[in-house]
Amino acid sequence: MKPSSETRLRVRYAETDQMGVVYYANYLVWMEVGRVELCKACGFNYRDMEREDGIFLAVAEANCRYRSPARFDDEVIVRTWIEDANTRIVIFHYEMRLAGDNRVLATGSTRHVYVSREMQRVRLPEKYHPLFGI
C-alpha cells in the first residue's frame, strides 16, 4: 500500500486574486504542505532528513490541473501520496478537494531527485526505503 495523508487548510484572503479565487501558484504551495505532512505520516520529519542526513528533495518537475475554483475561507483537503519511488527519485501525487461538497479543485504531481547540500544527486539512504515504499 502506498503511503498517503490528508491535510486540511483554510483559504486565506491573501491567497486569492482580483477575481476572488485562489491564485493558481498557491496550489503548488499547498502541495508542499501536503508533502511535508506526508513525510510526518510516514514516520519522519523532512527537516530532520535535511539536517541530519543532508538529503534534500529537489523539485525536477511540477504539474497541476485546475478543475474548479476555491475561494476565501473555503476549507480544502489536500490528499498526498507517493506514486513511485526508488533510490534516485520520488514522485508525489496530490488531489485537492473542497471539504464541504468534496468537489475536486485540482490534481497534480511533483517529481523530485534526491540531492546533497551541494546539489549533487545522491541515493536515498537505506533507512528511508521502507518509509518511501521502496
As given in the structure block, the three cell numbers for residue 25 are: 501558484
- The active-site residue, picked from 17, 48, 53, 84, is 17
Nearest CA to 105 out of 12, 47, 30 is that of 30
Identify whether 17 is a catalytic site residue: yes
**Do the beta carbons of residue 6 and residue 12 sit within 8 Å?**
no
| Residues 6 or more apart whose Cβ sits within 8 Å of residue 117 | 54, 56
**Residues with catalytic annotation?**
17
